[in-house]
Amino acid sequence: MAVREKVFDVIIRCFKRHGAEVIDTPVFELKETLTGKYGEDSKLIYDLKDQGGELLSLRYDLTVPFARYLAMNKLTNIKRYHIAKVYRRDNPAMTRGRYREFYQCDFDIAGNFDPMIPDAECLKIMCEILSSLQIGDFLVKVNDRRILDGMFAICGVSDSKFRTICSSVDKLDKVSWEEVKNEMVGEKGLAPEVADRIGDYVQQHGGVSLVEQLLQDPKLSQNKQALEGLGDLKLLFEYLTLFGIDDKISFDLSLARGLDYYTGVIYEAVLLQTPAQAGEEPLGVGSVAAGGRYDGLVGMFDPKGRKVPCVGLSIGVERIFSIVEQRLEALEEKVRTTETQVLVASAQKKLLEERLKLVSELWDAGIKAELLYKKNPKLLNQLQYCEEAGIPLVAIIGEQELKDGVIKLRSVTSREEVNVRREDLVEEIKRRTGQPLRIC
Amino acid sequence: MAVREKVFDVIIRCFKRHGAEVIDTPVFELKETLTGKYGEDSKLIYDLKDQGGELLSLRYDLTVPFARYLAMNKLTNIKRYHIAKVYRRDNPAMTRGRYREFYQCDFDIAGNFDPMIPDAECLKIMCEILSSLQIGDFLVKVNDRRILDGMFAICGVSDSKFRTICSSVDKLDKVSWEEVKNEMVGEKGLAPEVADRIGDYVQQHGGVSLVEQLLQDPKLSQNKQALEGLGDLKLLFEYLTLFGIDDKISFDLSLARGLDYYTGVIYEAVLLQTPAQAGEEPLGVGSVAAGGRYDGLVGMFDPKGRKVPCVGLSIGVERIFSIVEQRLEALEEKVRTTETQVLVASAQKKLLEERLKLVSELWDAGIKAELLYKKNPKLLNQLQYCEEAGIPLVAIIGEQELKDGVIKLRSVTSREEVNVRREDLVEEIKRRTGQPLRIC
């Protein structure tokens, strides 16, 4: 939890820096709200028992509840973040950060705006967060559903097979083109020459120059959807250059994303191994953030089908927790789980009352303080407690100190002790622990 | 959510000030974990549908999961807080802050310690939080389950009726003694003279002097359990005096608390109406925090029944949200839902690129900044957006400013505008919005 709080803090600060408000929705939704939104993965939804009343399910992600919330409250314009747990009846894989109950950290911009401005901001946010977390080098793959659909059309895939071929393409980050082609031809009934044509496209990736090259592609440029997608990507790259993150972005025709609801730009951030470890090309070690544009989802919940265009991103925070934890373990770095600044201790017996009085004074002054819950603890035990809990200071009361109106302040690491006048103790603790003055 | 975050912030700061670490447990527990822990209220537990695998229920509170967690991880010593949602299939009452899904904010101290030191700290924490929240005057009622049980015994209640008579007594904060007596005699089969004997006790409340008076009570002082409870309460009052909160505490023999698992001291904080509104005695307007000692619960989850004594408190944060919201409404005070410090705007057309460049510079410097997602927004619309969202500053770019290497910084409330050199802009915004220097 201590690690989690640090990661959340980085993420929340970034979301707030971009002017988002925070919303909350219930952990369960009406079962029908979730039905038909997640394709094959719908079988992973947790249902509640029918105990009378509405049929309910636990939320599967935060995007569908957000769209439901917008439609229900007739909101057409909001920038919000939502950090909460979602639920999937999946096989957990602890080391890879995959659980049945896990956090999602979502940021979305809803509203009718000029093209690619909010989309570019979403990518900027992803880059800011991944850089701040210092979890290694990363790359953001970008594509557009309209380019994919246009590409499928000109390669000769029938409309009805777009989504299933899309999910085959989506596997290219894990398996080879040969295997994907086998699936397309063997399982999904595509003609081999159609698959090969797709193969020529989806194995390409690059920067804005690839966008421009495809805009000249004699076939693709004839497809209206693909042309729109490519035009928008070109604009997107312009904005990303202004944001100073174009070097982090790769236009990758193999990026497809699993979810049904995307309608435009899609993206996925992957961590790269260090070049020394991998061969020529950096090897992806998995997605840590993803998102895209979904202009049709809110309309599905509006009685009149009114659309609210949305674009957003989700940080794969459980994977990030695993990475940060592993790094801390490797460094043998101990993370403090409390923030206590000072332990109120005594060197002699019969000073419980004095300890209680002093710790109370410190709490009232906003100092994070503890005492051992024993009448007559040994000084050694009190010092040991500080070492274990990482408490930096000990305020020691003794008979003589009480007479002199001072407290002995001891630094746990240096073992230095100085007498501080009781009325100066709060200021001295704040000074030593670098806590800004603040009224609590 | 903006109000909630402020309330949570006060609570979390207090919990951390008292040296607690934070833990998290899953939203669902094994059904059997919850069975038999909540008495009559067990019918309010939400179950998950049996989709194969374990039978699960949504947690009903945070105390039972905490005890399960301690036993499962063989922890005998921890001070933790947990802020999370719990679930009850109850009739919601929005205005009173009663929902089916609601937050609990729990702080608990587990471990074998000298008597009443952690118990006193829990009461101190309750007082600190309720004072910091500034939701009006409050009183903390204190009693002890052992005193109640001893009292029932000497009044002639049979052992088997202790719990059910206890829950009748618990209603005394809502209904009159006459009604409670009727329930005891009519529904629960108590002899009227037994009920009257109980009535003589439970209508008493006061300070430490009442404890001392009852220690002299010829009958009660003969009961071992009651004597233990009274002895501990006397000690508790000593510590509360040292903590400077004895004036907030009332020893109240009618306080019983509904839950089965309490074994010692119990307490409940109630808000008081202003004396002007009520008659002679301040009228309670409902419980906003409660807790007590439960020394047997962890043992119920340990295969060998090993006990871990615990004491804790729970802040009734939904009630507090309602109160704070109502107060803000009455004051017609608008709460900002974002923290944006500056809007990057332009006075002329064709400056989108310049706006994107500047907003990106500000984000990278840790400034909370926004821009309108339009190519050529009107200045008036940009200023209006600031007024609505409560953004204090506008950084305006124009052709002339670009040439001069300055940005026009406008205060939204005073409408004052000054030219700031671009390289000084970040510092000037931080200075004006009082943000401490911090690397993001």
* Residues of chain A with C-beta less than 8 angstroms from the C-beta of B357: 242
Helix %, strand %, coil % for chain B, to 5? 45, 20, 35
Question: Between residues B91 and A8, which one has the greater pLDDT?
Answer: A8
Looking at the predicted structure, is the pLDDT value of residue B296 above 60?
yes
Using CB atoms and an 8 Å cut-off, which of residues 124-143 of chain B contact chain A?
Answer: 124, 128, 132
Angle formed by the axes of helices A352-364 and B224-242, nearest 10°: 50
> Which parts of B are annotated binding residues?
61-63, 88, 104, 108, 257, 261-262
Residues in chain A: 440
Residue A97, pLDDT score: 67
pLDDT at residue A435, rounded to an integer: 61
Q: What's the rounded Cα separation, in Å, for the pair A52 and B100?
A: 14
Q: What percent of chain A has pLDDT over 90?
A: 82
Compute the nearest-CA separation of B81 from chain A (Å).
11
Q: How far is CA B274 from CA A60, B134, B138, B281, B283, in A?
A: 47, 13, 10, 10, 9
Q: Is A232 on the interface with B (CB under 8 A)?
A: no
CB B42 within 8 A of CB B35: yes
CATH of A1-331, one of 3.40.50.720, 3.30.930.10, 3.30.465.10, 3.40.605.10: 3.30.930.10
Tens digits of residue pLDDT in A351-398: 999 999 999 999 999 999 999 999 999 999 999 999 999 999 999 999
| pLDDT average, residue stretch A87-97 | 81
**pLDDT value at position A100?**
93
How far apart CA A341 and CA A426 sit, in angstroms, is: 11
A112 touches chain B (CB under 8 A): no
Residues of B in contact with A435 (CB under 8 A): none
Query: How would you list the strands of the sheet with A101-110, edge to edge?
Result: A21-22, A78-87, A101-110, A310-315, A284-293, A265-272, A138-144, A249-252, A205-206
For residues B401 and B355, the answer to whether their CB atoms sit within 8 Å is no
pLDDT at B283: 43
CA distance A76 to A134: 36
The residues with which A185 forms a beta bridge, in sequence order, are: none
pLDDT for B435: 62
Q: Do the Cβ atoms of A78 and A25 come closer than 8 Å?
A: no
Given an 8 Å threshold on Cβ–Cβ distance, is B243 in contact with A339? no
pLDDT at B257: 86
**Mutation for testing the B interface, residue in A14, A43, A49, A83 having most B CBs under 10 Å:** A49
CB atoms < 10 A from the CB of A423, how many?
A: 9
Taking the model in full, what pTM does it have? 0.91
Return the higher-pLDDT residue of B275 and B317.
B317
> How far is the C-alpha of A362 from the C-alpha of B95, rounded, in Å?
37
pLDDT reported for residue A91: 83
CA angle (B396, B402, B406) in 5-degree steps: 65
Residue B277, pLDDT > 80, answer: no
Instruction: Compute φ and ψ for A268, nearest 5 degrees.
Output: -155, 130
CB atoms within 10 A of CB A186: 10
Taking only the tens place, the pLDDT of each residue in B141-178 is 999 999 999 999 999 999 999 888 988 998 888 899 99
**Which pLDDT tens digit goes with each residue over A120-143?**
999 999 999 999 999 999 999 999
Confirm whether residue A294 is marked as ligand binding. no
In the prediction, which pLDDT does B193 show?
95
- Write the pLDDT tens digit of every residue in A295-332: 999 999 999 999 999 999 999 999 899 888 888 888 88
Is residue B421 over pLDDT 60?
yes
Residue entry with tokens 């004895």: B246
CA-based nearest residue in chain A for residue B3: A22
- pLDDT score of A279: 45
> Mean of the pLDDT values across residues B223-230?
97
Which residues of B line the annotated binding site for L-histidine? Answer: 61-63, 88, 104, 108, 257, 261-262
Q: Which one of 3.10.129.10, 3.40.50.800, 3.90.1410.10, 3.10.450.50 gives the CATH number of domain A342-433?
A: 3.40.50.800
Q: What does pLDDT average to over chain B?
A: 92
pLDDT mean over A48-52: 94
What strands, in cross-sheet order, belong to the sheet with B310-315? B21-22, B78-87, B101-110, B310-315, B284-293, B265-272, B138-144, B249-252, B205-206
- Paired residues of A311 in beta bridges: A109, A293
**Lowest model confidence (mean pLDDT) among A268-282, A402-416, B349-363:** A268-282
Mean pLDDT of chain A: 92
Q: What is the mean predicted confidence (pLDDT) over A282-306?
A: 87
A342-433 shares the fold of A1-331: no
B 375-394 near A (Cβ less than 8 A): 375, 389
Reported as a pLDDT band with limits 50, 70 and 90, residue B436 is low
What is the pLDDT at residue B9? 96
- The reply to whether residue B114 touches residue A353, judged by beta carbons under 8 angstroms, is no
What CA dihedral angle connects B89, B93, B95 and B97, to 10 degrees? Answer: -30
CB-hemisphere CA count at 13 Å for A439?
3
Burial class (CB in 10 A: 0-12, 13-18, 19+), B297: buried
Contact B143, B290 (CB under 8 A): no
- Is A46 annotated to bind ligand? no
Say which residue, A280 or A13, is predicted with more confidence. A13
User: Rounded to 5 degrees, what are φ and ψ at A228?
Assistant: -60, -45
A76 carries a ligand binding annotation: no
State the DSSP string of A409-432: EEETTT--EEEEEGGGHHHHHHHH
pLDDT tops 60 at residue B58: yes
Model confidence at B276: pLDDT above 50: no
Buried b (16+ CB within 10 A) or exposed e, B8-18: bebbebbbbbb
Q: Please list every residue in chain B whose beta carbon sits closer than 8 Å to the beta carbon of residue A20.
A: 338
> By C-alpha distance, which of B170, B16, B138, B149 is closest to B81?
B16
DSSP B172-206: GGTS-HHHHHHIIIIIT---HHHHHHHHHHHT-EE
Cβ–Cβ below 8 Å for B338 and A111: no
**CB within 8 Å: A120 and B356:** yes
Q: Which of B8, B373, B376 to mutate to test the interface with A (most CBs of A within 10 A)?
A: B373
Q: Which residue in chain A has the smallest CA separation from B438?
A: A13
Residue A210 clears pLDDT 90, i.e. is over it: yes
Triad A122, A125, A131: Cα angle to 5°: 145
Interchain pair A47, B51: CB under 8 A: yes
Residue A107 has pLDDT above 70, yes or no: yes
> What are the sequence ranges of the domains in chain A?
1-331, 342-433
